[in-house]
Amino acid sequence: MTTGTLITVAPTGAESAKAEVPALPVTLDELLLTAKECEALGAAVIHVHIRDDDARPTLDPVRLADTVAALRDSTDLIVQLSSGGAVTDPEAARLAVLDARPDMASCTMGTVNFGDDVFLNRWEFIVDLHARMQERGIVPEYEIFDLGHLSALQRLLGRYGLPAGGHVHVDFVMGVPGGMPGTTETLVAAHRMLRDLPEGTTFSATGIGRSTIPVLLASLSTGGHLRVGMEDTVTYAKGRPVESNMQLVARAVGFAQLAQRPPLTTTEARELLGL
């Protein structure tokens, strides 16, 4: 059982529209303010998607590089870029995310139905992304949308070696329509499958939408870490919209403290993740 809790904030995502969710941070200034607020509360990692001038999801390389630089100047947070982008983004643009030189990047371990869409992650693309991160010293967070993705990760590590930093960290993304459900039973099953991965592998869990609270509690009780944010839910409680990412981070911090697993500092988080 890990004694502290790694808290990741995912403030924006690529799915919600600013017009429908006015509190969503889409400009660089809004993102920086959110980052500072969430760091002060106990977040150690920020999982970043960016938007263009019209608040649409983008993987523009200049904007990505500027965002990474600004976050490093303004916070001590571990900057993790999404290599998933939006489901319509081409593989070349997703690989080019690494050119912004983040501390970490996501690496989704397989294709999954994503609502009415398909989030495509071919094996060759996964291998290429993994290898490029090894070469550049970027630490991956392996995103697991379904249980079979853990078997794919075992295969990847067995054939191509450990990630940069030598530590394996996964994120169970639960409750996406088409992926694994956001239930305690599913998280326990996923947790059991970690025994097939390298010793010391750690995990975070993300509950999408209404699965946020069940997944949060189940993750803490099994020694896992937490990812929260407006990328994953825009409802704080039934009939109550999220007012800011601070709300979600504060709730996660409160539960972590109740579990006697207080938030890890950014220094402790870097040590845990092999940064």
Read off the pLDDT of residues 80-98 as tens digits, 9 standing for 90 and up: 999 998 889 999 999 999 9
DSSP state, 1? Answer: -
| Burial (CB count within 10 angstroms: exposed 0-12, middle 13-18, buried 19+), residue 155 | middle
- Point out the residues of the chain with pLDDT beneath 70: 1-2
Compute the mean pLDDT over every residue in the chain, rounded to the nearest whole number: 96
pLDDT recorded at residue 2: 57
With beta carbons less than 8 A apart as the criterion, state whether 193 and 203 touch. Answer: no
pLDDT recorded at residue 1: 45
Which pair of tokens denotes residue 238?
A: 């039934």
pLDDT recorded at residue 109: 97
Asked if the 7-273 domain carries CATH number 3.20.20.70, the reply is yes
pLDDT recorded at residue 106: 97
Bridge partners, 30 (sequence order): none
pLDDT recorded at residue 87: 87
Q: What angle do CA 254, 174, 67 make, to 5 degrees?
A: 70
Q: Specify whether the backbone of 244 is left (phi greater than 0), alpha (psi in -120 to 50) or beta.
A: beta
Kind and range of the H or E run holding 107: strand 104-108
Tens digit of each residue's pLDDT (9 = 90 or more) over 33-42 = 999 999 999 9
pLDDT recorded at residue 191: 95
H helix runs in the chain, sequence order: 28-41, 61-74, 91-96, 123-136, 148-160, 184-193, 212-221, 245-258, 266-273
Bridge partners, 112 (sequence order): 119
Task: Report the sign of the C-alpha dihedral through residues 151, 152, 155, 158, in that order.
Answer: negative
Task: Report the sign of the C-alpha dihedral through residues 212, 214, 270, 131, in that order.
Answer: negative
Distance between first and last Cα of the chain: 21
